[in-house]
Amino acid sequence: MNHIRYVEYDASHSENFEFDIPEGHDCWLLLLTQTPAIFLVDDNYIEYPANCAVLFRPNQKIYYRACVDKYVNDWIRFDTDEAYVTTSPITNGVPFIIHDPSYCHTLYQLLVTEHILNNNYKDISIDNLLRVLFNKLLESYNYKSISILFKNLNELKMEIYHNPNKEWTVAKMAEKLNISAGYLEDIYKNTFGITCIEDVINSRINLAKKYLLYDHYSIAEIATLCGYHNMEHFFRQFKKITGSTPNSFRNSPYQK
């Protein structure tokens, strides 16, 4: 069971901000930083970059302060007996970089909304949101070789899937990140387990499948809408991924 005491997102403080609670809170505290900050870890004052998470257990010493002209974070103080929190492998009091800060930020916004609302499903919604939040944090925590370019890579991946019809090339994608094409190919594959061009192809075929099932465009029109200028190329890639031709996919009763 979870009980939220306080939750806030986009909490902003001046450059003189300092949070010092030697005895800690009598509940759990989870912070997601949007700006760099200094934390006390093992009796050392360490500066951590923006987009870090840190989980404090009840009655654990808490100290952190601003180190730039403004400190911004999302935070939640809550009581819980849920094992996904109380037995989490996350080291308490030690910040770690978050893979997808925008996703986690959205979860905080939803938690604030649910905390304010009063309905029969409030507790269930809060529990589900916290479970997803902790799952996302564990993904980052367990990813030991996180790249400093992860945020940029993730934004590139999202842009690919939002705009599959663009003229994507490795060179153009690498230019967006200001790195070499070879380095982009290596780091993208290491991060996502798939090459950036494979992601482009998958995004285009996913869009083509949607058009085939839910729209009335011709096959040629769909190929163009998905970024293909060569019908044979479109047919070849579509069949390689789906196992069927576009026409067969559209007419198959199993796809409806």
pLDDT tens digits for range 71-127: 999 999 999 999 999 999 999 999 998 988 999 999 999 999 999 988 888 999 999
| 3-state class (DSSP) for residue 216 | coil
Spell out the CATH class of 2-141.
Answer: mainly beta
Asked if 107 and 75 touch (Cβ cutoff 8 Å), the reply is no
CATH homologous superfamily of 150-255 equals Homeodomain-like (1.10.10.60)
* pTM assigned to the model: 0.61
The phi and psi torsions of 13 (rounded to 5 degrees) equal -135, 160
* d(C-alpha 146, C-alpha 181), whole Å: 19
State pLDDT tens for residues 25-73: 999 999 999 999 999 999 899 999 899 999 999 999 999 999 999 999 9
Is it the case that residue 129 has pLDDT exceeding 90?
Answer: yes
For the record, the structure tokens of 111 come out as 């938690």
State pLDDT tens for residues 202-237: 999 999 999 998 888 999 999 999 999 999 999 999
DSSP 254: G
Residue 123 CB contacts under 8 Å (≥ 6 apart), including other chains: 1, 2
The strand ranges marked E within 15-141 are 18-21, 28-33, 37-41, 44-48, 52-56, 62-66, 70-80, 96-97
The residues spanned by each domain of the chain are 2-141, 150-255
